[in-house]
Chain A
């Protein structure tokens, strides 16, 4: 790092990514010329990644409270009450830039990082999910990126023994130069024993545990905040290598120590490593911390204080212990063969003071550093509404079964089995709904209750109408939880956008957040944690706006849940919700007709809630035998997916609804397909609740048939659905 030898002036600050005004405010806080180490600390603390300077104003508008919320955004992860003395701890986190540079290690360390966020709070991780966005399948880099990212996610989660139970995967040329790798972890902890990061108790020891510190990822945090350009290959050595084995030991050691009363505060070292964890712990506790770098376990010789403070070596934690508990803690970490070092003390100075040898290499007042962290109200442009398309916009004489096969076999519509079979999705023995359904279900160990988990976002809607897209992403996650029989509890979100300094991108951000906010409020689905990833663009080409929602729901009895697959023949197939034939921004138009046109379907929360609660109650009453929410590809794709999953055919009757293609493939929201043995009861109950319910078909046979004229075997559907991804990945 040549930077470490520079004297600090405005040019050096600029190289660290500080603007002129940021430089000035640093100078006025310090009242003197800062050391290089101090500059490094300012630069990472004020980076987009750590300070949320472009997004904070808007994040504050999200609803974050509710009777179920134990801890909202601001800590390592969100915490919700799940009853019986337990809490679920969950969050989603991006590792986009590192995964583009080195897909395997980038994705792996992303998974490692989010799991640390969860067990830092005292929760044992019980499930991982991953939301992935790749470029055009024909782009020369895509295959290599898919293979590396999937291997990295699997490699880390599998080794840790945490099941990876779900996610989503899209391809679009907008991600050619900037893939998205968002990883989510859910953990479970005793509700009365959540660990937080506020350092307290003047004189208490500050302890470092985990792996040794090396020169990994120095400036990773600032890298994650800078737009990509052709020369970003130069930034390669900053990639970290993950060691899931060490993280597994760290998990077990931390949970073992947490079972004692030794810990006052704990914080994982993620982005900006020791700097960020120290400053945050001090800030949250309103105290100072003095660090002695001579005590930090070091992997390489000759590391400078600058490097030690900024290293992003993985699998490390910082803790404040009760005095006198050091030996108990040390014994546990030694048992697990991990480094343990007392590296500092809590002080009353309100400063973070860093010593190395006889020198004080940094002495920064915490409060001004955190509070003066820049906040921007970036200019934003509202999006231009797209026209609403009429239902007869679809090609008149397209054979629906040909379109269906095209959709199910397309890059975005095909089965993700090739991916999830590389993930251990069963370890820990509690995965009661595996990947492939609407939500995964993970049983709470030793009970008959469970958590439903999903991730969702439809970027093409967000691009067409960001606010609707934001509403839809949150509503779809909510719907996916409902569709297995869960009560949605709360959400986490990963806001992936381009360069916020461009008003049109900032506009996408603002409108998506407005949409999520409206949905979260209306659906009692508060936001308890999240992550923002900006500057996702290469040479000025931004990704599609991609606000990924991770949803969590609670299941009181896992025997009162359903899955997507048809369970028997001779059952009625019922469509719940209103169908107008909304083809604007649909998968059908895009995939089958190559048209990216029209306004996306509106999301009406009153209808959403009415239909959703109706469905959930049906599931709880055992009134339905299968359920699938309707999303990409509309009714026919949903029915086909149910047929494929259950290996049972069905006949579908449009009852002369026209235009047929719009009825079959339109993407009106708030809809579900269910099967039942007693449709009369459901139809009349629906009437009572003001929910629209139409019998559209019957299960049975080995084929899917529409209006007795169009037909295709379930086997042929399965073959085309399962073919694309493995075949694509097998090609050289």
Chain B
């Protein structure tokens, strides 16, 4: 399985994503600089976390207009699996690959801590190693993770079962208290229509090592490997 991590000026979870991918796939991903003109054929594209362009204007906004994003959008429409983590999720919404937008956290503060998320559907490229309804403990670290979309979009997401993860408490109950950032309907991650593109705020690449953030993120990467190497 071949993967690429796109590096933007200000990306800072690119190495973490690469470590996780290498651990899961056995090969290091290609690290592609945002100004590189050609993107090799890969099975998976990762838009990593960080502060691309300093998060200036809006998180992910400037990166989403980078020339390489046109190619990424094209691949996305062709069905190439893409995942955007944190700042990468913001790029996906800003580029129109996913609906809605990630606004400033309701508490107006950066927030870095472990949260629990509930896996809605375990049949997707990104979640097949989990059980449906499983609760994962995964870190978040962001300033703008407050998902917003209009009611029609939200209904569509719900109807199509495209809400990938919701913030929950330790027992899996989706409650207001468990929502770290004010996100609409506790949304922590969403899919595109076909399920080939996933954006999520929590960092599965920070939960692949018992010494660091736990291992609940490992399934995310093994799911991908299983889905894409088959």
Contacts and interface: CB of A to CB of B under 8 A. Distances in A.
Q: Is A–B contact present in the complex under a CB 8 A cutoff? A: yes
Nearest to B15: A428
B112 A429 contact: no
A158 B111 contact: no
B212 A426 contact: yes
Nearest to B52: A245
Contacts of A159: 10, 12, 51, 54-55
Interface in A398-437: 420-432
Interface string B29-67: 000000100000000000000110111100000000000
Given A151-B109, A159-B55, A243-B54, A426 B141 contact: yes
A422 B107 CA distance: 11
Interface size class, chain B? 20 to 34
B12 A429 contact: no
Contacts of A431: 212
B51 A423 contact: no
Interface in B125-170: 139, 141, 143
B53 A245 contact: yes
A426 B112 contact: yes
A719 interface: no
A642 B92 CA distance: 43
A429 B17 CA distance: 10
B51 A244 contact: yes
Nearest to A159: B51
Contact of A424 (B35, B109, B112, B205): B112
B112 A248 contact: no
A452 interface: no
A155 interface: yes
B9 A154 contact: no
Contacts, number: 84
A121 interface: no
B110 A432 contact: no
B12 A160 contact: yes
B78 interface: no
Contact of A423 (B112, B139, B213): B112
Contacts of A430: 212
Given A243-B54, A429-B205, A421 B111 contact: yes
Given A160-B12, A248-B12, A426 B55 contact: no
Nearest to B114: A426
A429 B51 contact: no
Nearest to B111: A421
A245 B15 CA distance: 17
Given A245-B9, A424-B141, A428-B16, A161 B51 contact: yes
Interface string A229-270: 000000000000001111011000000000000000000000
Query: Which of B12, B139, B205, B209 is packed against the most chain A CB atoms within 10 Å?
Result: B12
Interface string A453-491: 000000000000000000000000000000000000000
Contacts of A104: none
Contacts of A155: 110
B101 interface: no
Contacts of B10: 159, 245, 248-249
A249 B9 contact: yes
Given A158-B51, A161-B13, A336-B9, A429 B209 contact: yes
Contact of B15 (A154, A243, A429): A429
B206 interface: yes
Nearest to B51: A159
Interface string A141-170: 000000000010011001111000000000
Contacts of A351: none
Contact of A432 (B9, B13, B211): B211
Nearest to A147: B109
Contacts of A425: 112
Nearest to B141: A424
6 contacts: A248-B10, A421-B113, A423-B110, A424-B110, A426-B112, A426-B141
Interface of B: 9-10, 12-13, 15-16, 19, 35, 50-51, 53-56, 109-113, 139, 141, 143, 203, 205-206, 209, 211-213
Given A161-B51, A248-B10, A431-B212, 13 more contacts: A158-B112, A244-B51, A245-B9, A245-B51, A245-B53, A245-B56, A248-B51, A421-B111, A422-B111, A426-B203, A426-B212, A429-B15, A429-B206
Interface of A: 151, 154-155, 158-161, 243-246, 248-249, 335-337, 420-432, 443, 558-559
